[in-house]
Amino acid sequence: MNSELSAADVSDRDIQLDPARLPAHVAIIMDGNGRWARQRLLNRVLGHEKGADTVRAIVTASREIGISTLTLYAFSTENWQRSVLEVSALMSLLKKFLESEKPVMMANDIRLNAIGQIERLPDDVQNVLRAVMQATAENQGMRLNLALSYGGRAEIVRMARTIAEKAISGVLEPSSITENTIVDYLYTHDIPDPDLLIRTSGEMRISNFLLWQIAYSELYFTSTLWPDFSKEEYVNILKAYQQRERRFGAA
C-alpha cells in the first residue's frame, strides 16, 4: 500500500461507501505479478498464480459491493512478446481460472464477457471462454469483462476498418459518422465507459488499455503489486473516488 493511501486511510476510516455513488464500471490494469515473484526470488509464473487469487478476491468483492461492470486487463496485444514459457503459463492459468470460476459466476449471477483478439488465443482457451460466456449469458448481477489479447490501438484499427468497409459498400454515409458510430464498432459497444480506472504496481501509464473509453475516467494509481492488492485497499480507492468531483468539462 502506498503512503498516500495510508494517509487517506486514517482520515477516511469512518467514511462509509455511499451505495448511491458507486462507479458503475471499474476497470483495472492488474500489474506487478512479475515483481512480486522477483522480490521473493520466485519464478514469474508463481507471481501470476498468486495474481489469479487476487482476481478471484476482487471479482467477489466487486459483486458484493455492487459494481455493475468490472473490466480486468489480463493480457495485452504486447504481452505476446513475452517468452513462450510465460505466455503458455498465462494461457493455462486463464483456462484453469475460467473452469474453476464458472460455478462461482453462476452462483453469484455474474455474466462473463471478453474483449480483444479472442481468435489469437489457443483453441482450448477459446473453447472454455465461449462455454463460460454462453453459460453465464443470462446472469444479471454483474458483468465481468476480461481484456484478453487486448490493445486499445488494435481496437481502434478494427473499428476504422469496419467503418471504412461499410462506407465503401454504401451502407454508411461518412458525413453521418458520429461519436456514437465509433462506439458501435468498439469491443465495448454494449458497456458504458469506465468511471474509475485503477492501476497497481506503481507504473503511471495506460499501456494501451481502453484508449477511447477512458476519456473521462477517474484515474487511480497505487504502488501495491497486484498479488498484494486487497479488498480493503479496493474499498479505500472506491471511497477516494467518491470524494472526487467529476466535471466532464463543465464549469
Residue nearest to ligand IPE (CB): 34
Q: Terminal CA-to-CA distance of the chain, rounded, Å?
A: 34
Among the options 9, 12, 43, 79, which is catalytic? 79
Task: Specify whether 31 is catalytic.
Answer: yes
Assess 74 for contact with ligand IPE (CB under 6 A).
Answer: yes
Going residue by residue from 136 to 155, which x/- string records binding to ligand IPE, judged by CB under 6 A? --------------------
Q: Give the span between the Cα atoms of 121 and 138, in whole angstroms.
A: 24
Query: Contacting ligand IPE (CB under 6 A), which of 56, 120, 205, 246?
Result: 205
The count of other CB atoms within 10 Å of the CB of residue 204 is 7
Task: Specify whether 18 is catalytic.
Answer: no
187 close to 202: Cβ distance less than 8 angstroms = no
Query: Contacting ligand IPE (CB under 6 A), which of 34, 116, 151, 194?
Result: 34
DSSP-assigned letter for residue 28: E
* Sheet of strand 218-221, all strands in order from the earlier edge strand to the far edge: 110-115, 142-150, 69-76, 25-29, 196-199, 218-221
Contact partner at residue 241 from Mg ion, ligand IPE, none, CB < 5 to 8 Å by partner kind: none
Assess 200 for contact with Mg ion (CB under 5 A).
Answer: no
Contact partner at residue 73 from Mg ion, ligand IPE, none, CB < 5 to 8 Å by partner kind: ligand IPE
CB of 173 vs ligand IPE, minimal distance in Å: 37
Going residue by residue from 167 to 196, which x/- string records binding to ligand IPE, judged by CB under 6 A? ------------------------------
197 close to 27: Cβ distance less than 8 angstroms = yes
Question: Quick check: helix, strand or coil at residue 160?
Answer: helix
- Give the Cα-Cα-Cα angle 49, 55, 56 (nearest 5 degrees): 100
Pick the closer one to Mg ion by CB: 31 or 155: 31
Strands 196-199 and 69-76: unpaired
Binding site for ligand IPE (CB under 6 A): 29-35, 73-76, 78-79, 90, 201, 203, 205, 207
Binding site for Mg ion (CB under 5 A): 31
